[in-house]
Structure 1
């Protein structure tokens, strides 16, 4: 299977005994959270078990590997390849030759998109990270020694005297992307190399161009950074990130991309926060009433956790493990089909296999229907609920205001066992479903 070999070769030169050897932290950053998961419980999907899950043509028996991932994540040397399947970059039913063809097609497509962006701004692909404003909302260039206006910008190599607002919006976003990029995961040795920062900026700039509805919002750099580190080829990192964005948007509301959309009437993760409030009313009514009395009935203090998928609550290593465990638990055949997108923008016509599903997804199917994707909160919501219940005694007995709630949650950073937290989330999910079913009968 050539793709597996390629994925394995990506990590050559690294020790696979400890993730921290791969995702090294800069020596001067001593206050960074370290892994809180005991080594004896790191039962990760191994390269050997991963290879054994493919048939002779290279088709993946996804059911065979999900349980291993749920128990402790994925070994570092195969992580990039496994993520491509968990996120829907490739269908488990595809063979090795089909995946290689699609990979090359997507690489070509990314190069074309990047070239299109470069024609509008020369910084794209140059390795430069733009941190100063390029253009104001009126379409006037703000670059030094460049008084030209938007009327002198080109697209697709052709002078456009009246370009759309899309170009203006994109150019306005570029410096915000840059400001976030230079702050993202700077504790890692990987980002001491300016070329890696440039790759992260390029991916986000291209994504902002093709996604007219969302563009770019703060938090996306945190979600994209692991992709840049895992995939030596920038195009592969881009497509994995793009599928993650589809997953973020689709999981909570098919057709309504709310997670990164902010308006004067709605904050991006509002639906998830509403789900969290509903779940807490069922799981722990007393704690919910306490938080409500403190003015936290909207659970806005959990905004950051849900927005960037717990990047601040765990070490970089534990975040990767947590993500892949949660993706395995939530693996749902219908959703995977929605995640899968071909280079031309069409969704793959794969057939769902309901035997292949994560524990969380199967429970939702049991208490709902296979097609009811959004009847229940996401696993992330129950994950937050577990953290809140862990702090229950402090919240009920000592905390007097929401600022103290936020402080208590911040103090938990780096102290949560990702594995145990997942088990607690699943426990609360089961409790929630049972109580909801009982109240409806």
Structure 2
């Protein structure tokens, strides 16, 4: 349940996600409004569980895809959408899993606090701990000797996380409270410690992991629960943040976007090619942080839950629980009608067509294609260079309709799959 609901007892969206008074003029009005009979309400959510706690996920997905999730229950619903829990589990089983995860998070956080004692105090750091010679700047802020490269790299990252935390969702009243900023810092710091491969990455064009984590810290009351939701979200997105000297992780999505546009709208694709925009780098930010800059905060939450519901795969939770398990994609599984309903609309179409490669299984790529189609005429008429494309797309920032964009993305997916199958 949202911490704002517990404090206010109201269902007004402006109270769930209050805006600082000095920022109100710069924050666009949200398009998302809970709609009776379509939005997943608290009443309908609780009625979707059996007496033992089994969740009717097909019913829940249907409602989310029609009208999103009511703010009072977004956090707990997202835990299921992100694969934290198996819908077939019981209340008792989930409580045990939750307690185990909270204990594990506490262990990891204690490890981090041993190295940097500020962690867990309600404060956070924005100044570097390590200088260019890899030596401590202020030994009083470091709890242990730096004895290995992992610890060194992590400590070099800590202050960057702090700088990004200060920039996070600055218009929201929530982050006027330093302890809330510190909670976001703690979650990101612990994640950076346990993810040996990716750690914490700011990304190109200032696309930061904090933009993915922030809504989860706001929606879930318990810090450990926020961490585990973020960890699940990053399992979907972490490859986007993988970088090397020669490539960016999100490039595979950009390549797929190019292929999709070339198939569904060859005229627009050729125009972008002529403008030297055929690599679609202008879409980098949309894909990296899932449209955080293109939608208002509230509409971003709505967009994400629509996407995750449409992409939902009932097998995901088992993969999340056992990382060593791998999917086989050599054949399309035989699935009966009852089980089909437990898949989201987008994922169902992927399975029906055998289109299970990861880059083609990302709804976000088709969402970018839908945005381009929305602005098709203007791009063809007005864009004389890459900067014009960027400006045209920038004009839609925070004014997109999430539901229409997702519906259009599904149409483009259908069109692409149909045309791609032809010789």
TM-score, length-scaled by structure 1: 0.87
What pairs with 1:42-441 in structure 2 (closer than 5 Å)? 43-136=38-131, 138-143=133-138, 146=139, 154=144, 163-218=147-202, 219-249=208-238, 258-340=239-321, 354-368=340-354, 372-374=356-358, 376-439=360-423
Query: Residue 33 of structure 1: CA displacement?
Result: 2.3
Contact 1:333–1:354 (CA under 8 A) maintained in structure 2: no
> Aligned pair in 2 of structure 1 residues 348, 261: CA closer, same or farther (>3 Å)?
closer
Query: Residue 211 of structure 1: CA displacement?
Result: 0.3
- Name the one with the larger helix percent: 2
Query: Residue 136 of structure 1: CA displacement?
Result: 3.5
Query: Residue 51 of structure 1: CA displacement?
Result: 1.4
Query: Residue 21 of structure 1: CA displacement?
Result: 1.9
> Aligned pair in 2 of structure 1 residues 196, 80: CA closer, same or farther (>3 Å)?
same
Gaps of 5+ in 2: 203-207, 328-334
DSSP 3-state at the match of 1:259? helix
Q: Hey, what's the Cα distance between the residues in 2 that align with 1:377 and 1:287?
A: 23
Q: Hey, what's the Cα distance between the residues in 2 that align with 1:139 and 1:347?
A: 39
Q: Hey, what's the Cα distance between the residues in 1 that align with 2:45 and 2:324?
A: 29
> Aligned pair in 2 of structure 1 residues 288, 126: CA closer, same or farther (>3 Å)?
same
Q: Hey, what's the Cα distance between the residues in 2 that align with 1:289 and 1:54?
A: 51
Query: Residue 16 of structure 1: CA displacement?
Result: 4.7
Q: Hey, what's the Cα distance between the residues in 1 that align with 2:293 and 2:3?
A: 30
Which residue of the partner structure matches residue 19 of structure 2? 25
Q: Deviations over 1:93-138 (max 9, x none)?
A: 1100111111111111111111100111112112222111111464
Which residue of the partner structure matches residue 14 of structure 1? 8
Q: Hey, what's the Cα distance between the residues in 2 that align with 1:48 and 1:40?
A: 13
Q: Hey, what's the Cα distance between the residues in 1 that align with 2:312 and 2:411?
A: 18
Q: Deviations over 1:18-66 (max 9, x none)?
A: 3222001111111112213466699311112211211110011111110
> Aligned pair in 2 of structure 1 residues 50, 41: CA closer, same or farther (>3 Å)?
closer
Report the aligned-residue RMSD.
Answer: 2.4
Q: Hey, what's the Cα distance between the residues in 2 that align with 1:59 and 1:36?
A: 33
Q: Hey, what's the Cα distance between the residues in 1 that align with 2:197 and 2:310?
A: 29
> Aligned pair in 2 of structure 1 residues 336, 428: CA closer, same or farther (>3 Å)?
farther
Contact 1:386–1:424 (CA under 8 A) maintained in structure 2: yes
> Aligned pair in 2 of structure 1 residues 225, 290: CA closer, same or farther (>3 Å)?
same
Query: Residue 438 of structure 1: CA displacement?
Result: 2.1
Contact 2:183–2:217 (CA under 8 A) maintained in structure 1: yes
DSSP 3-state at the match of 1:333? coil
Q: Hey, what's the Cα distance between the residues in 2 that align with 1:141 and 1:114?
A: 21
DSSP 3-state at the match of 1:438? coil
Contact 2:253–2:359 (CA under 8 A) maintained in structure 1: no
Which residue of the partner structure matches residue 205 of structure 2? none
Q: Hey, what's the Cα distance between the residues in 1 that align with 2:341 and 2:33?
A: 32
DSSP 3-state at the match of 2:403? helix
How many positions carry a matched residue from both structures? 408
Q: Hey, what's the Cα distance between the residues in 2 that align with 1:165 and 1:231?
A: 33
Q: Hey, what's the Cα distance between the residues in 2 that align with 1:260 and 1:138?
A: 26
